[in-house]
Amino acid sequence: MAVTILKGTIVSAPTLGQVDIVEHGYLVAEDGVITGVFSSLPERYASADVEDWGEALILQSFADLHLHAPQYPMLGTGMDLPLLDWLNTYTFPLEARFADTDYAREVYRALAKELISLGTTRVCMFSSLHTDATLILMEELEKAGVTGYVGKVNMDRNAAPGVLEETTEESISETLRWLEACGDFKYIKPMLTPRFIPSCTDEVMAFLGKLAAERGLPIQSHLSENDKEIEWVRELHPDCTQYWETYAKFGLWNDRTVMAHCVWSDERERAAMRDAGVTVVHCADSNVNVCSGTAPIRTMLNEGLKVALGSDIAGGDHLNMFDVVTSSIRASKIRYMEGGKQTPFLTVPEGWYLATSAGAAFFGETPGFAPGNPLHAIVLADDALPPLPAVSRFERCIYRRQKNAVRAVWSAGRKVYAAE
């Protein structure tokens, strides 16, 4: 049995808004599974090696529940364009390049490495419509040490003709070919990924719903991101009162579903999410960058919805989840101000919880460094910054980090990154 023992300032988020800190504490895993956080090392581990990180912070690693892998090369570009122009000018032509598997290999290898170096060890990720590139993405993520789900995108209507499109037949047959081929991955699993309602025919949606049921596959897509999209969906599905019903009617609405954005989800749509156990993925940067709005996250939390965070690159411009946390806090402060300072904004511990424990919950984990969870952790140095009490160091590390702060990363029990 392999024992991992990390010593340092152990910080975890066991419930929304709470931060547990054990200074000079021990985070212990057996065969990659956490057995506990201890203030003194239990006798049974007395002979095991201790990786001593001194005063450094040892934190839960991040879960990024919504991002578009093929948009990685365009991060930070096109930010002045409206959504549709942005898609047509930048996104679709770029995604089309992933027909080239060499290009895919190069980009996805860089993305996987950067994710790990930033402490993101769990993802729900969109690929493009390309089966081979999707398999390459899964391979590179697995190699780098990222865990989670990846989806070959289905988009058999309203795509970019001559640039990026698939027929309904291709969409179906390629999805099957992809699922066939990704049986060998251990840490990266397939996730059904209709791009969004306007991109998918009823036939493909029905096919995906059937697959989800038959194979117990998880599902990711977009929901109620902006007003024009919502209007479009209403025109496409006049039988549905609300956007979410267009997923539900095809069997794509359950507790293994993650829906990005949900900026404009009203009380009824939110209730539908809560009742089905759907996870909302809040993408604050993207929602501001492309002028979609600010999602009612506090209200969702109060109503008992599951909410996690996503970088949503390249609508979002931050791959670093530390920055995604602060953006989420800022977005909540905007809503706080707009609403006459009635609904409280997200606190730092709450933002942190959403980016770690809440996202990890989608992968079956218990909040915090709970016994039974696979070991997902990062070591963060801040010794070049002014000394502060541990709780202030935790707060500060969200907003500000010294150069090369992430010193080491563990993912599903394995040490997958060590800074030079």
Q: Which of 78, 296, 359, 367 binds its own copies (CB under 8 A)?
A: 78
DSSP label at 333? H
- Distance in Å, CB of 9 to its own copies, minimum: 16
Burial letters for 27-59: b for 16+ Cβ neighbours within 10 Å, e otherwise? Answer: bbbbebebbebbeeeeeebeeeeebebeebbbb
- What is the C-alpha to C-alpha distance for residues 310 and 312, in angstroms, rounded to an integer? 5
Q: Which of 177, 396, 414, 415 binds its own copies (CB under 8 A)?
A: 396
Q: How many helices (H) and strands (E) does the chain have?
A: 15, 17
- Give residues 103-132 in contact with its own copies (rule: CB under 8 A): 107
Q: Which of 15, 101, 241, 392 binds its own copies (CB under 8 A)?
A: 392
For its own copies, give the closer residue by CB, 314 or 378: 314
- 32 in contact with its own copies (CB under 8 A): no
**Which residue matches tokens 């979410």?**
244
Q: Which of 289, 356, 357, 411 binds its own copies (CB under 8 A)?
A: 289
- 395 in contact with its own copies (CB under 8 A): yes
- 293 in contact with its own copies (CB under 8 A): yes
Q: Which of 14, 73, 251, 371 binds its own copies (CB under 8 A)?
A: 73
- Give residues 134-163 in contact with its own copies (rule: CB under 8 A): none
Neighbours of 77 (CB within 10 A): 15
CA 394 to chain centre: 22
Max distance between CA atoms of the chain, in angstroms, equals: 67
Strand order in the sheet with 279-282: 219-223, 257-261, 279-282, 306-309
- Give residues 322-351 in contact with its own copies (rule: CB under 8 A): 326, 329-330, 333-334, 336-338, 341, 345, 347-348
DSSP label at 67? E
For its own copies, give the closer residue by CB, 241 or 392: 392
For its own copies, give the closer residue by CB, 297 or 375: 297
Q: Which of 294, 311, 356, 357 binds its own copies (CB under 8 A)?
A: 294
- Distance in Å, CB of 289 to its own copies, minimum: 7
For its own copies, give the closer residue by CB, 3 or 16: 16
Question: Considering Cα of 379, then 384, then 389, then 394, what sign does the dihedral take?
Answer: negative
- Distance in Å, CB of 404 to its own copies, minimum: 8
Q: Is 82 exposed, middle or buried (CB count within 10 Å of its CB: 0-12, 13-18, 19+)? A: exposed
- What is the C-alpha to C-alpha distance for residues 251 and 218, in angstroms, rounded to an integer? 11
- 399 in contact with its own copies (CB under 8 A): yes
Footprint of its own copies (CB under 8 A):
73-80, 107, 285, 288-289, 291, 293-294, 317, 326, 329-330, 333-334, 336-338, 341, 345, 347-348, 386, 388, 392, 395-400
